Amino acid sequence: MKKLDRLRKKIDSIDEEILDALNRRAEVVLEVGRAKRDKNAKFYSPVRENEVIKRLQKLNKGHFPNDGLKSVYREIMSASLSIEEPLKVAYFGPKATFTHLAALRYFGSSADLMPNESIKKVFEAVDSGKAEYGVVPIENSSEGIVSHTLDMFMDNDLNINGEMFLEVAHHLLSKSGRKGSIKKIYSFYQPTAQCRGWLEANMPGIPIMEATSSANAAEMAAKHKDAAAIATELAAKVYGLRFVSRHIEDMKRNFTRFLIISQEAHPKTGKDKTSIMFSAKDRPGALYEVLAPFKRAKINLTKIESRPSRRKAWEYIFFVDMLGHIEDKKLQHAIDSMKDACLFLKVLGSYPCGE
């Protein structure tokens, strides 16, 4: 016990050093803020944040995991930013949804995260300046594209400023955390479908009550002692629920990709992705003609998706992701070369590849 006490005191001493270092860092952050105001520069710099994290991960030779280091410094920089003024970020959905969790992971908990009832409202918030950034889902690895997000790019001139991937993890939550007390389960239709096998094997005969979202399911479960919810880990914290069982999804390694939207374009980082949208002329070989410049330039197209244009019957809009930045000469030349074969062409943005 004496050895344990000595070790705990050592940890306490280190924690005090960390606290002192954080406050000294905050003082420098305030000086940086004053210098930026003098130059009328933006206080938030995502490029600088990523540089800081990458540099520290390279320097890290100890036992502390790099993923944990990234999470810690994301929170440190989010809190530092809030000393001046919290970053305003709009996201789709109520609190405790996967989009809320994605916004937290990307911007940190000190950002002013503003829920919006629709993807359209997120775009409007960013376009009007009410929010500096927006977070919207774009695709799921098992269910495909979120078409409404793609549609919004047709009518808005916002830039894709970043992306992130979040693993879809469903948990069974309740007030007591005891499986035996559950008489009903609240769930949104998508989590229900994604957990069908587990529910049939582990909760046979328990009725599933439909909720308007996973957050709403957690909210309902928090009101009833005999109820549970299929929801996110964040919902457990927000609504004061306990875990009955973790990771009850039938399909493991299921990811949702989110886009970060902004009025600002993202500068080149050296590991970037560019997204475009276009419609091809209605003639034989038109799509090949449009895409051929990318093959000649040896540009890797990582995704191509089509959907009706909503403007003319049988006219389609194509959405393409490719590796590289719009400032790259060969990528810019390839996009310029495809214009003659397009009825419509729009560059949605270049941004760092997500992890």
Per-residue pLDDT of 46-89, as tens digits, reads 888 888 999 999 999 999 999 999 999 999 999 988 887 789 99
**Catalytic position from the list 92, 107, 153, 258:** 258
| pLDDT score of 249 | 94
| pLDDT score of 166 | 94
**Catalytic position from the list 97, 99, 192, 256:** 256
Report the candidate in 166, 162, 157, 86 with the shortest Cα–Cα distance to residue 126.
157
- Tokens standing for 318? 């194509």
Dist. CA 237–CA 169, nearest whole Å: 15
Dist. CA 130–CA 288, nearest whole Å: 41
**What are the pLDDT digits (tens) for 242-269?**
999 999 999 888 899 999 999 999 999 9
Is residue 133 within 8 Å of 109, Cβ to Cβ? no
pTM: 0.86
| pLDDT score of 314 | 59
Domains and CATH numbers, the chain: 171-245 (3.40.190.10), 272-352 (3.30.70.260)
307 — phi, psi (to 5°)? Answer: -160, 155
258 is a catalytic site residue: yes
Is residue 230 within 8 Å of 170, Cβ to Cβ? yes
Other CB atoms within 10 Å distance of the CB of residue 319: 22
| pLDDT score of 37 | 81
| pLDDT score of 143 | 78
Report the candidate in 199, 294, 293 with the shortest Cα–Cα distance to residue 244.
199
Amino acid at 295: K
Q: Identify the segments of the chain with pLDDT beneath 70.
A: 310-314
Sheet containing 342-352: which strands, arranged edge to edge?
A: 301-308, 316-323, 272-280, 342-352
| pLDDT score of 312 | 67
